[in-house]
Amino acid sequence: MQNKIDIKDLSYDELEGYVIGNMLPKFRAGQIFEWIYRDVASFKEMTNLPKALIESLEKDFYIGRVKIEAMQHSKTDNTRKYLLGLKDGNSLECVLMDYSYGKTICISTQVGCRMYCEFCASATGGLIRSMTSGEMLEEVMAVSRDIGERIANIVLMGTGEPFDNYDQVIKFIKVINHSKGLNIGQRHITISTSGIVPRIYNFADEKLQCTLAISLHAADNGIRSRIMPINRKYSIEKLIEACEYYIKVTNKRVTFEYALIKDINDGAKDAHKLGTLLKGMLCHVNLIPLNKVEGKEYEKASKNSIDSFKGILEGYGVETTIRRRLGSEIDAACGQLRQKYKTH
């Protein structure tokens, strides 16, 4: 068991390489790939493979599965929050939301996080480790298995910074998008970053059709550096420059996330600064009422200030929506469930 690899960690090309290395025709890789993403639990179930191939798969790999350790279900909006156990004993969270346009899963990309955003529960405890692409796939598969339904959309907005785990995240997107795999369209995948600027350039050059969301939360460097330490390394100017490159290369609209925090970034002055910054850009602003995190002093902005913030932005021609809050009564936000259960 020790030296075996989780077969879900393999890209299609890697699996093909394995098959060719075993002197077998390439099409066997396609068959294996299809079985994995049809969610078989053992290699024996891959009934169209020769026995010798099944045996060598058993020798070299295992089929990784995560364990559902806890689940909270909100009856009001049908949101489910899962605590999943990894094989090394670590736990992570993901949330399933029931939107009119399909079931949407919010997955974690790391166990913990090292971005240390002030208002976020995931920051507590720092980074434990990054997840593998196979583990991210299993978040989607385990939840789909549990509800007995296909998942339509994926957002990489759970715990962790996707661009701090860049290679595995890109591999995950390519595998989940593969026609012989789960075949989830890139347009149904959103990736959210706190603003690791060099990776935004890399991501633009990948020319994927995923939506890129940027956690902006302030248009002023002083405020942003205070609530998001990453801004001390990559300023708002550098971040916007990278977004402009992304838009130019992909011709895709960028989403800016902005969590409104009472008396920190929710004033008219803040809205005007944001409007001035984003005016004329191919973008969209998603205003998020802050989710109160226990032990943090930050409070959510009032409904009035959120509405007037939106009005000011629209005055600059910036398309703005207010995110509907799902699952707020089941800790379905930003590392809160893991925080409640975890021991480390």
Chain positions contacting ligand SAH, by CB under 6 A: 115, 117, 119-120, 157, 161, 192-194, 215, 257, 259, 288, 290-291, 293, 333-334
The DSSP bridge partners found for residue 189 are 154
Residue 3: how many other CB atoms lie within 10 Å: 6
Of 132 and 215, which CB lies nearer to ligand SAH in the complex structure?
Answer: 215
d(CA 146, CA 82): 10
Least distance between ligand SAH and beta carbon 113 (Å): 6
Least distance between ligand SAH and beta carbon 179 (Å): 28
Catalytically annotated residue among 55, 69, 93, 120 = 93
Least distance between ligand SAH and beta carbon 334 (Å): 4
Residue 160: how many other CB atoms lie within 10 Å: 28
Is 93 among the residues known to form the active site? Answer: yes
Token digits of residue 247: 């838009």
Is 334 among the residues known to form the active site? Answer: yes
Which of 201, 283, 276 has its CA nearest to residue 241? 201
Token digits of residue 231: 């801004």
8 A C-beta contact, residue 228 and residue 217:
yes
Of 36 and 106, which CB lies nearer to ligand SAH in the complex structure?
Answer: 106
Of 132 and 286, which CB lies nearer to ligand SAH in the complex structure?
Answer: 286
Sort 316 into a burial class: Cβ within 10 Å, 0-12 / 13-18 / 19+: middle
- DSSP-based three-state secondary structure for 136: helix
Of 179 and 302, which CB lies nearer to ligand SAH in the complex structure?
Answer: 302
Least distance between ligand SAH and beta carbon 259 (Å): 4
Catalytically annotated residue among 94, 106, 283, 334 = 334
Catalytic residues: 93, 334
